Amino acid sequence: MKLAFVSLLTILCAATSFCQNNKMTFDVNLGAHHAKEKYIDTCIYIQNKFNQPLVINDIQSRCACTEFYWDKAPVEFGDSVKVCLVYKLWSTGYFSKRNIIKTNVGKITMKINGTIIK
């Protein structure tokens, strides 16, 4: 299992990669994987930089190829929540999937991408 750390920067749009046109977004690159692996199992850590507890209510994927698991408890300022995902490798080539994290402070777009090779 791979681990990545994602810090949700201040909502003030100081980081252009996180806040584009006043929309919260970040990318997770899963790298290259062989199709014979069948799935990618990884976790990321999302740090709360908001001035209130962060609660992830839901994570919506646009396809059945991705499943998410996370701790439902509120995350205090400065603390992190571990979000695990399983991506099923259904075809070869480059992939990019847009997922919506619904929280008590708004919606956050998480784009996952990578490449599946034979």
pLDDT score at 49: 87
The CATH number of residue 40's host domain is: 2.60.40.10
Sort 8 into a burial class: Cβ within 10 Å, 0-12 / 13-18 / 19+. Answer: buried
Query: Is-contact 75 48, C-beta < 8 A?
Result: yes
| Cα–Cα dist 94/101, whole Å | 23
Q: How confident is the model over 39-95, as pLDDT tens digits? A: 999 999 988 888 899 999 999 998 899 999 999 999 999 999 999 999 999 899 999
Domain count, the chain: 1
Q: Residue 86, SS3?
A: strand
Range of the domain at 108: 2-117
